[in-house]
Amino acid sequence: MNGIYKEKIRYTNLVAAIIALCILLLSGCAKKHFIRENIDTAGIKSIAVLPFENFTRDDFAGEKIRRIVITELLSRGVDVTEPGEVTRLLSELNVRSLRSIKTEEIKKVGETLGVDAVMSGSVEAFGISKGINVTYPEVTVNLMLLETVSGNIIWSVRSSTGGASFWTRHFGAEGMPLSEAARRTVEDAIDTLY
């Protein structure tokens, strides 16, 4: 009787481990984020979204993700400055590189556009990857929110979606389209802010 009981426990633990692994594989999303202590991000009602850096082979990935971010912020009731106005102001301020934007420039953007924060970002991965017999989308973005009063980073996130799902790898099922992976990646990222 004791041996049968131990075997049932082992079987139950094995089934639980397999279910947990399947849930992990099916989720396909990963995110890491930071929020500065003592900052009420819900109080940030207006944002200027800077052009995003692009580290992918798709020449337009940065702008595609920027547009998805803007749409996601607007859908959550955030006032977002029109992207052309942001680009024009950066040109007027003679900002040559978004990697080295200065605190004074962030403050000037906030003052001129009347926004609470500036969002910068980069796209690390954006495309369709190929496995042995399958293709699947991969999207990875980094987003950062800077307070315009101080220029301090108040929120940062790295979010990824993609990879071949369990069903794609084992059964050749068609994965989600790239546009859906991009939307999901951005939505998961913004979920950590609002």
Alpha carbon distance 156, 178 (integer Å): 23
The full set of domain ranges for the chain reads: 28-191
Residue-wise pLDDT tens for the chain (194 aa)?
A: 566 666 666 655 555 555 544 444 444 456 688 999 888 888 899 999 999 999 999 999 999 999 999 999 999 999 999 999 999 999 999 998 888 889 999 999 999 999 999 999 999 999 998 877 778 899 999 999 999 999 999 999 999 997 655 555 555 556 689 999 999 999 999 999 98
Whole-structure pTM value: 0.79
Choosing among 3.30.930.10, 3.40.50.10610, 2.40.420.20, 3.40.50.150, the CATH entry for 28-191 is: 3.40.50.10610
The C-alpha atoms of residue 100 and residue 147 are separated, in whole angstroms, by: 16
Query: Taking a C-beta distance cutoff of 8 angstroms, is the pair 179, 140 a contact?
Result: no
